[in-house]
Homo-oligomer: A and B are copies of this chain.
Amino acid sequence: MKQKPNYRLYLVTDAEICPRENLLDVCEKAIDGGVSIIQLREKDISSREFYNEAAALKTLCTAKNVPLIINDRLDIALAVDADGIHIGQSDMPLAAARRILGSGKIIGVSAGNVREALDAEHGSADYLGVGAVFPTGTKKDAKNIGIDMLKQVTAAASIPIVGIGGINHENINLLRGSGIDGVAVVSCIMGSKDPYSAAETLREKTELL
């Protein structure tokens, strides 16, 4: 039986912003500062390296009681017994992923509009990552949808929604009243010299959402 995650402060990793040798250290500090769920996102890495990194992060997350989500790679998630996967519109179809993972694992889906959100909800997604809320430099192909579209999605969908894309310590206040369950951040924690404090301050601000 899967636990119901706390989506309040959702950290997505990025090896371009935080070198891989620092990943565990940064994630540990970020969790201690208030990160409630972590997504390991990797591109351009061998499956063996991805597996080794995911296994190490899984050990940390288990010790800290924080769910670990693997971006895209269902095989890596299965191999390290992660808590779930996050898939985008160009990843494996949700139906295929659910068939393999069963109901015991979390599946999150990226959605950029109401149709994608409802398709995912009806297709058994556990939560939605909706964005890019603000312009972002970390995911070049992400379209900036803006806060109005974010609100349309939170109004239409019933499953938990995490806002993602360019969210930082300043603009997070603009998301008040948007109906989201949490914020996903990349660079403002992964790129911080003080990930503990970056997470702590963000976590406090999420309480006002």
Contacts and interface: CB of A to CB of B under 8 A. Distances in A.
Interface of A: 46-49, 51, 72-76, 78-79, 87, 89-93, 96-97, 99-100
A47 B49 CA distance: 18
Contact of A47 (B51, B72, B78, B100): B72
Contact of A91 (B46, B89, B90, B97): B46
B79 A48 contact: no
A92 B72 contact: no
- When all copies of this chain in the complex are counted, the total is 2
A68 to B, nearest CB: 16
Q: Is the interface of A mostly helix, strand, loop or mixed?
A: helix
Nearest to A46: B90
Nearest to A51: B92
Given A73-B75, A75-B74, A51 B90 contact: no
Given A79-B100, A100-B79, A49 B92 contact: no
Contacts of A49: 90
Nearest to A87: B47
